[in-house]
Amino acid sequence: MKRSTLFIAIIVIVVVVLIAWRSSSGTPQTASTTPEATTTAQTTTNQPSQTTQSAQTAQPAKTTSAVPAGKTVYVSISNYSFVPATLSIAKGTTVVWTNHDSMPHTVTAAPGGPSSKELSKGVTYSFTFNTPGTVNYHCSIHPGMLGTVFVTE
């Protein structure tokens, strides 16, 4: 087995164990409004309602309650997944996606929703949700990657 394949397998196992450990802690997890770590990276913006952010490491957690308006929520793109895949936020909340995979990804929704260019590793994309409703999004390069944002009044 190649060393790189073994290294990747070990990383995947560690991530799965950490997620399982956090899930079994019995504490409801919400989307983080404060990232655990910050690194510098290039940014992407292409809509006036977006804000430019440095790359953030999102906490892999499920959202169980709405994040108040005006806050920032971080979503990690890793292992061909959006983490967390489901968010519940108040309108006026900004979501920042950061690609942690070596492959490029996008954040793509219906017109009027988030629509990023290809995000290479370490690049962020942000979008402020100003309209209540459900926004389903995906990666246009990897259509099996799905996410949902529930925006409340």
What pTM value is reported for the model?
Answer: 0.60
Please state the three-class secondary structure of 1-16 as a single string: CCHHHHHHHHHHHHHH
pLDDT in tens, 81-126: 999 999 999 999 999 999 999 999 999 999 999 999 999 999 999 9
* Higher per-residue confidence, 66 vs 81: 81
- Which of the four pLDDT bands, split at 50, 70 and 90, describes residue 51? very low
Q: Provide the pLDDT confidence category of residue 37 given band limits of 50, 70 and 90.
A: very low
